Chains A and B, each alone.
Chain A
Amino acid sequence: MSKRPIRILGLAPEAWPRLLMPLMMGMLLLGAWEFAVRHFGVPPYVLPGPLSIGDALVTNWPSLAAALMVTLRITVLALLVAVTAGVVLAVLFSQSKWVEMTFLPYAVILQVTPIVAIAPLIIIWVDNVQAALLICAWIVAFFPIVSNTTIGLNSTDRNLVDLFRLYGATRWQTLVHLRLPAAMPFFLAGLRISGGLALIGAIVAEFVAGAGGASSGLAYRILEAGYQLQIPRMFAALALISLAGVVIFLALSLLSHLILRRWHESALSPDR
């Protein structure tokens, strides 16, 4: 505890390869890609090289950045609603077997129905496009949170539950001071999955909606660039989506690490 571990730029030395190896691999692949495109003279409307994609990213930055913000807004909102609804539902499930028996199948149905198949319906039913997109993103993001949190709430150490009973804890005290904290690692694992899924849900719904105009997201930029055969711009939008997904995952991993680092085994070693 007393001796401070060695750190390079805030990271433990053994954590650096985790960062450097994938980065080097990425550089290598990008280099090979650029080389291949040039060497074989692949036309940019079939496969643009990374440099021309970068160029398209810079030139179209204002419109792409605006689209990114639109997509991220939907994603984050959907994730917030999924967290709230998911945790509330999981708590209800954990309080009553009857509630769980009644509602769990519907949560499962919602989960296994492909979002592409129901997105058109939702977009028809809901007048407001933004709200329709939000609902689609929410549907895919919601299940991992419900199911993980439910498992977490139900797998509380039995002896601790007994201890709370012995000291006359109310249902509410047991929930707040025992079940919810015990479910935290499970919830956070679900949240990391849901973060990526919310983004996918938002993108898929945007594709289906195909909504243009000022409030259009990255998916629409991809469609638009496709129609106009501006393939580098299409790739630039695609790259932004992937980047957004990675950033969401890293942010949620960091959150998870910060919350769990003092007590949970999963946070012992540097997290992915």
Chain B
Amino acid sequence: MPHPPLTETQGPGPAGTMPPAGGAVVSLRDVTKRYPNGTLAVEGLDLDIAAGSFVSLLGPSGCGKSTVLRMMAGLAPLTAGHIAWPQAAPRLGFVFQEPTLMPWQTALDNVALPLKLSGMARAGRHRRAREMLALVGLAEAAGRYPRELSGGMKMRVSIARALATEPDLLLLDEPFAALDEITRFRLNNDLLRLWEAHRFSAVFVTHSVFESVYLSQRVVVMAAGPGRLFADLPIEAPAARDEAFRTSPHYAALCRTVSEALAGGMAA
């Protein structure tokens, strides 16, 4: 798999359908969400996700991060504002906090699900699902049922499923929150590697300042009551995100900046 240079500009994507370099894959304008029970979850949110970029959404619990993600995925209707997709029929992938696998299907069939739903023939979707499993290091586990996999393995299957359709935008809602730290570090690195190889755009919701800085090119900090954008911080960091970066003073400084923004958002 060729590794494109680590910039926001982006050549044609897998299907040659990527928007022009620097364009947004999705733009939220003045997005407001009020739930039927009256809760104002998000108010007046403007957000552009540059094509091919990795953006983290950080904020205290209940500030509307999941709501924003669900609105982007078309799973929750907006109350006001609009979401624009410059590219026609963008493909989306979604990774939930729980692996959300079908327990009655093998890892292979779980990964193949989106392809099955789009009508791809069995042989083709299994071939593709096998590739995806190999990509997340689970080639051996194709025939296993979710019950027979560890938490970390299930999450890998979930990521493989989200990548199976070659999404233009990958939405991840605290995907690693339920995992132990060692597994979490490993999956962080795997996710980075996948992103470097495929350059999908990603919106990654997390509670962890460290995780957001390690992974992203940009951290968007939200404040609660009602959910809104509080700070938008570019992460100017080296191309190679690895243990050296994780232990560098630069990383520590970035984390401090983001933490301060988060604290500011919670005080606001």
Supply 16 further A-B pairs (C-beta < 8 A) apart from A184-B104, A263-B104, A264-B103.
A159-B98, A159-B100, A160-B100, A160-B102, A165-B74, A167-B117, A167-B165, A168-B117, A173-B117, A177-B102, A181-B102, A181-B104, A182-B104, A262-B104, A263-B146, A263-B147
Q: Does B182 contact A (CB under 8 A)?
A: no
Q: Does B242 contact A (CB under 8 A)?
A: no
Contact between B147 and A164, CB atoms less than 8 A apart: no
Number of residue pairs across A and B with beta carbons under 8 Å? 53
Given A166-B74, A181-B104, A1 and B94 touching (CB < 8 A)? no
- Kindly list chain B residues whose C-beta atoms are within 8 Å of the C-beta of A107: none
Selected contact of B145 from candidates A157, A166, A178, A263, CB within 8 Å: A263
| Docked complex Cα distance between A178 and B116 (Å) | 12
Question: In the complex, which residues 125-175 of chain B have their Cβ closer than 8 Å to any Cβ of chain A?
Answer: 145-148, 165
Interface residues of B (CB under 8 A from A): 70, 73-75, 92, 94, 96, 98, 100, 102-104, 113-114, 116-118, 145-148, 165
| Docked complex Cα distance between A136 and B119 (Å) | 44
Selected contact of B118 from candidates A165, A167, A264, A265, CB within 8 Å: A167
Contact between A166 and B147, CB atoms less than 8 A apart: no
Contact between B103 and A166, CB atoms less than 8 A apart: no
Contact between A262 and B94, CB atoms less than 8 A apart: no
- Kindly list chain A residues whose C-beta atoms are within 8 Å of the C-beta of B103: 263-264
Q: Does A169 contact B (CB under 8 A)?
A: yes
Contact between A167 and B148, CB atoms less than 8 A apart: no
- Kindly list chain B residues whose C-beta atoms are within 8 Å of the C-beta of A32: none
* Residue in A closest to B91 when the chains form the complex, CB atoms: A167
B92 to chain A, nearest CB (A): 6
Selected contact of B94 from candidates A163, A263, A265, CB within 8 Å: A163
| Docked complex Cα distance between A264 and B103 (Å) | 7
Interface residues of A (CB under 8 A from B): 1, 157, 159-160, 162-169, 173, 177-178, 181-182, 184, 262-265
Q: Main secondary structure on chain B at its contact with chain A?
A: loop
- Kindly list chain A residues whose C-beta atoms are within 8 Å of the C-beta of B146: 263
| Docked complex Cα distance between A76 and B156 (Å) | 45
Selected contact of A166 from candidates B92, B98, B104, B148, CB within 8 Å: B92
| Docked complex Cα distance between A110 and B151 (Å) | 45
A-B contact pairs, 20 of them (CB 8 A): A1-B148, A159-B98, A160-B100, A160-B102, A162-B73, A165-B74, A166-B92, A166-B94, A167-B113, A167-B114, A167-B118, A167-B165, A168-B117, A173-B117, A181-B102, A181-B104, A182-B104, A184-B104, A262-B145, A263-B146
| Docked complex Cα distance between A165 and B118 (Å) | 12
* Residue in B closest to A259 when the chains form the complex, CB atoms: B104
Given A166-B73, A166-B94, A168-B117, A157 and B148 touching (CB < 8 A)? no
| Docked complex Cα distance between A159 and B113 (Å) | 14
- Kindly list chain B residues whose C-beta atoms are within 8 Å of the C-beta of A166: 73-75, 92, 94
B203 to chain A, nearest CB (A): 14
* Residue in A closest to B158 when the chains form the complex, CB atoms: A163
Selected contact of A165 from candidates B75, B100, B104, B113, CB within 8 Å: B75
Contact between A162 and B113, CB atoms less than 8 A apart: no
| Docked complex Cα distance between A165 and B94 (Å) | 11
- Kindly list chain A residues whose C-beta atoms are within 8 Å of the C-beta of B70: 162
B165 to chain A, nearest CB (A): 8
* Residue in A closest to B116 when the chains form the complex, CB atoms: A177
Contact between A168 and B118, CB atoms less than 8 A apart: yes
Selected contact of B102 from candidates A165, A168, A178, CB within 8 Å: A178
- Kindly list chain B residues whose C-beta atoms are within 8 Å of the C-beta of A184: 104
| Docked complex Cα distance between A157 and B100 (Å) | 8
- Kindly list chain B residues whose C-beta atoms are within 8 Å of the C-beta of A263: 103-104, 145-147
* Residue in A closest to B98 when the chains form the complex, CB atoms: A159
Selected contact of B75 from candidates A160, A162, A182, A264, CB within 8 Å: A162
| Docked complex Cα distance between A243 and B145 (Å) | 36
A94 to chain B, nearest CB (A): 17
Given A166-B75, A167-B114, A167-B118, A159 and B148 touching (CB < 8 A)? no
| Docked complex Cα distance between A1 and B114 (Å) | 29
* Residue in A closest to B97 when the chains form the complex, CB atoms: A159
| Docked complex Cα distance between A173 and B100 (Å) | 17
